[in-house]
Structure 1
Amino acid sequence: MFRRILEKTIFVLYTLMLGFICLAAGVYWNLRDDLPQLPDSLDKINLSLPTEIYSADGEIIKVLGQRHPVNLENISPLFLKAIIAVEDARFYEHSGLDHIGLARALYVNIQRRAVVQGGSTLTQQLAKNLFFSFERDWVRKVKELLVALQMETTFTKDEILEAYANQVYFGSGAYGVEEAAQEYFGKRAQDLNLLQAAMLAGLPNSPNNANPFINPERAMRRTQAVLARMEREGYISREDRERALQTELGLVAPRIESNPNQYFVRFVIDKLADDYGKEFVHYGGLKIYTTLDTRYQQLAHRVVDTHLKHLEKRELKAGLDESLQAALVTLDNRTGAIRALLGGRRYSESQFNRAVSNNRMPGSAFKPIVYMAAMEKLGYHPATVVDDAPTQFPIPGGEPWEPSNFGDKYMGPVILKKALMNSLNAVSAKLVYNLTPRRVIQTARQFGITSPLGDNLSLALGTSGVSPLEMAAAYSVIANQGILNEPYFVQRIEDFRGNVLYQHFFHGVQRFSSKTVYPLLNMMQGVMDEGTGRVVRRLGFHHPAGGKTGTTNDYKDAWFIGFTREYASAVWVGYDNNQPVIDKNGRGLTGSRGAAPIWAYYMEKVLEGKSPVNFPRPEGIHFQKVDTRSGYLPDLMTMETMEVAVREDLNLEKPVLPETEVIPPLPPDREVTTVPTPREDDALPKL
């Protein structure tokens, strides 16, 4: 019964094949002008399609698919037998289309009720990889078959096999068997033993999942399957297979580039592969023009490495196994272009990209977003007075939450500008309470932050993870006086003929009015000039700028994020294992000591030779000196004044808040959770 069903299935299949061939002939007549012209030698194709990635300054920073072709006689016969056995057992018998192989694949797929085998020949795979890698429709399949048939009539089997072996992708950035042999085993393709040949032959079908560097167990299972197929096809004996499995594989350590551009390059490749597919990126012969400024990237690497070495040698507690790490991102405020993206100290030691990971808390660097929410949604302004005093916030079903300032020191009534300059936790917590965390989250989304944010009061102290890239983008909105330019990393993509496949056109979105943002901008200038970030000025950076420090609970994260008119840069410093960063005297490393010096030295070099550029003041905004305790215009009782940027229609001769501030009771339907209070010590280090 089953045999009869199989015979009918094969008969139907042959009928369909005959119909398909007739259809293909008709399609060929219509598509013949669109088919690529085959050269007189396949070598000319093998060398013509590397993808090149360029920096913004025209430097080639990465080449993908660059092959090192070798002649067939310089490839191990064991590999050639293995690749034929596993990919196209009837390679020397068919003429580009294997009817028996296609029928067998269909039978196996029907039997297992899944697509576990394909019917493409080596020639079809070669045609696909060379000409049609990023087309994804039935027309491509027809073109692929037609070109395969052309190849079979134009070139010998050995020429096709040689071309395939020299261009196929083996994972880990290796194209062609020669490069793969060097990458995985540190030897020439002609010197591969049977076990090594079988492992390489198993990679083209799944170069990432079966990669021995990434998944050695799966790679070995795939190798065993290749050896079994070789035995079944008569290329090796059972004794050969068993002897090979007893052989030492000889896998070498993975080669990892130490070039600091690699963090950005890998980010670009992964993003494009997600959007367009790996075949498009690796096989397309593309020219990818990115936004990276290699001078800025080199500066970032040099400054980060120098400062971290100084901290480890002179200031931090010795004897730790973990190396201090850092991340740095720079955005062009005018466009959103990523000009520098350093994801770690050395790419050769760690490929984890901390610049785009959102696993670290920003601490007090998140407070400008809280203040912006208060000014936009509650009508607060830089001269609004909040009482900086110990306050307990009731938590339903739990103990009250009492956020504390560093050193348990409080200022009493204080205007918002001074509160931000001194990074007062109690004030920020009161703002979030009066706003509700959800309204703060809404404001964070307006700033372009997409990471999950906790709906709790401790959001006031930056207890939800965000990435340095997100924080740089948020601060860029402040520098742009309310305009969000989405960060981007690719300016243009061209195919190998020079046709433009993609072009980025930036357009800013006004997320906040300039009259609302400018007072916050001025407050953040105060942070850098006289507040917790004044170390930047002490270190010699004199361009007009604003910024904010950040230090999280138990000193696990140190941040400094700042902006000039042209650029916004974010710096993070900490340990990957989340242990506190403690100095030799037992003090925690703060944003002002850990991250701000990196920002200052780096930005000073970035802007070297450029004239200072001031931030334009919007119409309807003026500067006014006020009493820092009352928020009113100064009088004879005033002890300290501070200049604030406020709307011209604001009358500062009248109280802006009741004299006694009362925390309203918690609504019964409101749920609030909390985490341990981060404390920030942004005191200026001794220089």
Structure 2
Amino acid sequence: MIPRMVFRPRRAPSLPRPKLPRIPAAAWRWLALGLAGIVIFGAVTLAAAWGFACAGDACPSLDGLGEYDPEQASKVYAADGRLVTDLGLERRTVVPLKEMSPAVVEAFLATEDKRFYEHDGIDWVRVVGAAKGIALGGRLAGASTITMQLAGNLFPEEINRRERSIRRKIREAKVATRIEARYPKDKILELYLNQIDLGNRAFGVEAAAQRYFGKSVRELNVAEAATLAGMPQAPSRYNPRRNPTLAVQRRNVVLTLLRDNGLLTRDELERWKGYPLRLSSRSDYSGHAEYFVEYLRQQLEARFGTGLYRRGLRIYTTLDLDMQLAAERALETQLQAIEGGKYGKFPHRTYAEVQDRRADDEGEGARTPYLQGLLVTMDARTGHVRALVGGRDFTDSKFNRATQALRQPGSTFKPLVVAAAVEAGFPMSRIVVDDSFAFEAVPGEPLWEPKNYDLKYLGPMTMRRALFESRNIPLIRLGIEVGMDNVVAMARRCGLSGDIKPFPSIAIGAADVIPLEMISCFTTFASDGERALPQVVLRVEDAAGRILWQPQPRRERVMEPAPAWLVTDALRDVVRRGTAAGAVGAQTGFPSGGKTGTTNDGFDVWYIGFTRDLVTGIWMGFDQPQKIMANAQGGRLAAPAWAAYMREVYERRPPPGEFPRPEGLVAAEIDDRTGGLATPLCPKEVRFIESYLPGTEPTEYCPAHGGQMFGAPGPVQSPLTGSTEVPTLRPPTAPPVPAPDRTPAGVMGGVGPPPRSNRPR
């Protein structure tokens, strides 16, 4: 067995103590007098400084502090109550002390001022400690109480907390004692916790709790409370989003202080130190709907002024966040597909390439050099704007193309020409001619000869076919026959406010329009002839929940239901068998109508479509107008984005209904090529049941298929109703004669000023 060895340190040999020189008693007296003089001088100086600290207007008045009303950012909510973003320089929501989590209160007290309830604004223990630090060569710090910090936060101009001086400390301390003399401790603590800067533009514990943890301050646990309590010392340094490691280290220091103050056990301390930092993915949707919010902000600022940014308003909007997110995805996906060559060679720099070379593009301002787009969705009945995308990158360009741009609408304007014609008594089977013609638009100028997008002429056709096949020349002829002044009047009634001259070229969209206005025109055709004006605000409340503004939906009667339905049904043919049949009709399983649009040389492409409950318009082009690419057409580039977006929208909402026929219409079976009543000799593929306003139905049989052999048709038996049984004029039994030759009808003509666009589609 090995004996246990104990090691003992050896004592050093004792040395004789040196003899110190004896100080005379007189010297001690002089030293005492000197120290006393220094103390007296310091006290007198301090008293003088204290007395003059608030001389004149050096210190702020505390009047009104009891009615504490700090600046509070206004909050913007979606229609379903989800927070979108806030408007204001400072994010702040005032919360009473009694509604705060006790963990938050104790964490701040332990960290910032553990003797808060024991002093009168100045913690003399900390003052002495700070004085020792200065005497040892340290800096002036560490003595501020919660009340002193509050004084600096409430009155930043009178008390500059960035200034490191005795004078500033004295002024801060004096204001603190005045606050303590006037207000109870709980009120002071409440003011402090609602005022303090906690980084990320979050002022006060409620705003910080929402910003970092996505919850109210009422719900914070001990670790989360300690995270916030550790931030006042250096909000940027200990910001948990920017510096999570430092934030956790600082949090653990606060937790240790809670343990030292007897508020946590050792086991609780270790458990909370191990708690992971769980930040909310985002406390709002401020990265989305930025163009919508900016459009909203402009309207609210005009009504509420600067109070919008400091009164803590609650703004409930028409925005559907799910639609908005889907709109942003669908538009960007399609723009990237175009840039990526899916529809042919893209001859421009892409958005990604521009961003990679951002330094080369400085100075663009509102205009951007890459392909842009917009998308707006409105409720067809109320005008509520459900989604609004005004461009690809709000940070790069805040110019809202949906509400601020002026663009040519191309063929999306054509339904307004047809609407004016229907109101003038023209039936949808009216024959218009697709043939070349030219005229002198302006005396002394060359003749203008409009063209179709395919440079072909198809001869006589019905007004309906001219619309759903988007033929330029027949629509120009129709506008001239109806009267361009009547077309302009229809455009005004549908909501277009721009400079629209009564020139024939406007029939094919050669006039500048605001996209939102153009899109809202189509609510007329989605909702039985009533136009719904765009609206983004449901109501505005003050911070106490009192309603300040609650606008009502605005609707204007543009057309009676029956003539409006005729245009609607023709626009449904755009999807069923026209220019959007492939991109929309074949890709969606719900009833819809719409119109494609393409301006001269493919500078702008559009698709504005509607269901029974929603109207959505999409535009694509460059801020500096230029050709997008070869064969750029609205049906190829814009319509696919509409279909993809609307499919996603209707995955989350009931499918849209049909467009019921209003009362007062009659029907007749016609030859779709000639507009005459069908005969037994008309081929099946050209027969079509057309609807009419009473008195506008055809009175002659098809001239191309033996119409002269059948005499006059009988009267229509009954008006068309909403039933599935559609009364029609049926052709009589055919005599045994051969089919006649197909002879085209005559050609209409007309003159007018030159267009800015020859190729809308």
Q: Name the TM-score, length of structure 2 as normaliser.
A: 0.58
1:602 aligns with 2:645: yes
Residue 613 of structure 1: how far off its partner (Å): 0.5
2:746 to 654, 660, 676: 660
Residue 627 of structure 1: how far off its partner (Å): 1.5
Structure 1 residues 538 and 673: alpha-carbon distance in aligned structure 2, compared to 1, 3 A threshold: closer
Residue 617 of structure 1: how far off its partner (Å): 0.6
**Alpha-carbon distance between aligned partners in 2 of 1:622 and 1:83, rounded to the nearest angstrom:** 82
Pairing of 1:199-598 with structure 2 (within 5 A): 259-277=287-305, 279-315=306-342, 316-320=345-349, 322-377=369-424, 379-397=425-443, 398-537=445-584, 539-582=586-629, 587-598=630-641
* 1:451–1:465 Cα contact (<8 Å) kept: yes
**Alpha-carbon distance between aligned partners in 2 of 1:57 and 1:537, rounded to the nearest angstrom:** 29
Residue 600 of structure 1: how far off its partner (Å): 0.5
**Alpha-carbon distance between aligned partners in 2 of 1:476 and 1:650, rounded to the nearest angstrom:** 26
What is the CA RMSD across the aligned residues, in angstroms?
4.1
Q: Structure 2: any 5+ residue segments left out of the alignment?
A: 1-62, 94-145, 163-169, 172-177, 208-230, 235-284, 355-368, 704-743
* 1:258–1:346 Cα contact (<8 Å) kept: no
Structure 1 residues 631 and 46: alpha-carbon distance in aligned structure 2, compared to 1, 3 A threshold: same
**Alpha-carbon distance between aligned partners in 2 of 1:531 and 1:491, rounded to the nearest angstrom:** 38
Pairing of 1:637-652 with structure 2 (within 5 A): 638=682, 640-652=686-698
1:521-547 superposed Cα distances (whole Å, 9 cap, x missing partner): 110000111000112345520211110
Number of residues paired by the alignment? 491
Residue 675 of structure 1: how far off its partner (Å): 3.4
**Alpha-carbon distance between aligned partners in 1 of 2:291 and 2:454, rounded to the nearest angstrom:** 39
* 1:433–1:457 Cα contact (<8 Å) kept: yes
Structure 1 residues 510 and 576: alpha-carbon distance in aligned structure 2, compared to 1, 3 A threshold: same
Q: Structure 1: any 5+ residue segments left out of the alignment?
A: 1-36, 85-91, 94-149, 180-187, 192-256, 667-671, 683-687
**Alpha-carbon distance between aligned partners in 2 of 1:438 and 1:518, rounded to the nearest angstrom:** 23
Residue 655 of structure 1: how far off its partner (Å): 7.8
1:108-152 superposed Cα distances (whole Å, 9 cap, x missing partner): xxxxxxxxxxxxxxxxxxxxxxxxxxxxxxxxxxxxxxxxxx99x
Structure 1 residues 41 and 520: alpha-carbon distance in aligned structure 2, compared to 1, 3 A threshold: closer
Whichever residue aligns with residue 296 of structure 1, its letter is M
Q: Secondary structure at the match of 2:454?
A: helix
Q: Secondary structure at the match of 2:340?
A: helix
Whichever residue aligns with residue 555 of structure 1, its letter is G
Q: Name the TM-score, length of structure 1 as normaliser.
A: 0.64
Q: Secondary structure at the match of 1:518?
A: helix
Residue 598 of structure 1: how far off its partner (Å): 0.8
Whichever residue aligns with residue 514 of structure 1, its letter is P
**Alpha-carbon distance between aligned partners in 1 of 2:690 and 2:335, rounded to the nearest angstrom:** 36
Q: Which residue of 2 aligns with 1:673?
A: 753
1:613 aligns with 2:657: yes
Whichever residue aligns with residue 291 of structure 2, its letter is Y
Whichever residue aligns with residue 383 of structure 1, its letter is S
* 2:151–2:159 Cα contact (<8 Å) kept: no
1:351-389 superposed Cα distances (whole Å, 9 cap, x missing partner): 211111241111001100111111113x21210001111
Bigger radius of gyration = 2
* 2:613–2:656 Cα contact (<8 Å) kept: no
**Alpha-carbon distance between aligned partners in 2 of 1:655 and 1:635, rounded to the nearest angstrom:** 7
Q: Which residue of 2 aligns with 1:6?
A: none
1:416-474 superposed Cα distances (whole Å, 9 cap, x missing partner): 01110110100111122223332211101111222222332211111112233212211
Q: Secondary structure at the match of 1:573?
A: strand
Q: Secondary structure at the match of 1:317?
A: coil
Residue 349 of structure 1: how far off its partner (Å): 2.6
Whichever residue aligns with residue 290 of structure 1, its letter is T
**Alpha-carbon distance between aligned partners in 1 of 2:154 and 2:419, rounded to the nearest angstrom:** 66
**Alpha-carbon distance between aligned partners in 1 of 2:86 and 2:650, rounded to the nearest angstrom:** 30
* 1:580–1:588 Cα contact (<8 Å) kept: no
Q: Secondary structure at the match of 1:369?
A: helix
Structure 1 residues 72 and 557: alpha-carbon distance in aligned structure 2, compared to 1, 3 A threshold: same
**Alpha-carbon distance between aligned partners in 1 of 2:436 and 2:701, rounded to the nearest angstrom:** 23
Whichever residue aligns with residue 595 of structure 1, its letter is A
Whichever residue aligns with residue 646 of structure 1, its letter is Y
Q: Secondary structure at the match of 1:406?
A: coil
Structure 1 residues 574 and 498: alpha-carbon distance in aligned structure 2, compared to 1, 3 A threshold: same
Q: Which residue of 1 aligns with 2:142?
A: none
1:175-215 superposed Cα distances (whole Å, 9 cap, x missing partner): 989x9xxxxxxxx9999xxxxxxxxxxxxxxxxxxxxxxxx
Pairing of 1:127-206 with structure 2 (within 5 A): none
Residue 653 of structure 1: how far off its partner (Å): 3.1
Structure 1 residues 454 and 503: alpha-carbon distance in aligned structure 2, compared to 1, 3 A threshold: same
Residue 393 of structure 1: how far off its partner (Å): 2.7
Structure 1 residues 276 and 435: alpha-carbon distance in aligned structure 2, compared to 1, 3 A threshold: farther
Of 320-329 and 406-415, more deviation after overlay is shown by 320-329
Whichever residue aligns with residue 75 of structure 2, its letter is E
Residue 637 of structure 1: how far off its partner (Å): 5.3
1:254-278 superposed Cα distances (whole Å, 9 cap, x missing partner): xxx972211111110111112332x
Structure 1 residues 497 and 661: alpha-carbon distance in aligned structure 2, compared to 1, 3 A threshold: same
Q: Secondary structure at the match of 1:374?
A: helix
**Alpha-carbon distance between aligned partners in 1 of 2:313 and 2:702, rounded to the nearest angstrom:** 60
**Alpha-carbon distance between aligned partners in 2 of 1:399 and 1:154, rounded to the nearest angstrom:** 87
Structure 1 residues 271 and 78: alpha-carbon distance in aligned structure 2, compared to 1, 3 A threshold: closer
Whichever residue aligns with residue 653 of structure 1, its letter is T
Whichever residue aligns with residue 262 of structure 1, its letter is E
**Alpha-carbon distance between aligned partners in 1 of 2:538 and 2:461, rounded to the nearest angstrom:** 46
Structure 1 residues 414 and 319: alpha-carbon distance in aligned structure 2, compared to 1, 3 A threshold: closer
**Alpha-carbon distance between aligned partners in 1 of 2:559 and 2:611, rounded to the nearest angstrom:** 19
Structure 1 residues 314 and 642: alpha-carbon distance in aligned structure 2, compared to 1, 3 A threshold: same
Residue 318 of structure 1: how far off its partner (Å): 4.4
Structure 1 residues 611 and 73: alpha-carbon distance in aligned structure 2, compared to 1, 3 A threshold: closer
Q: Secondary structure at the match of 2:338?
A: helix
**Alpha-carbon distance between aligned partners in 1 of 2:468 and 2:388, rounded to the nearest angstrom:** 28
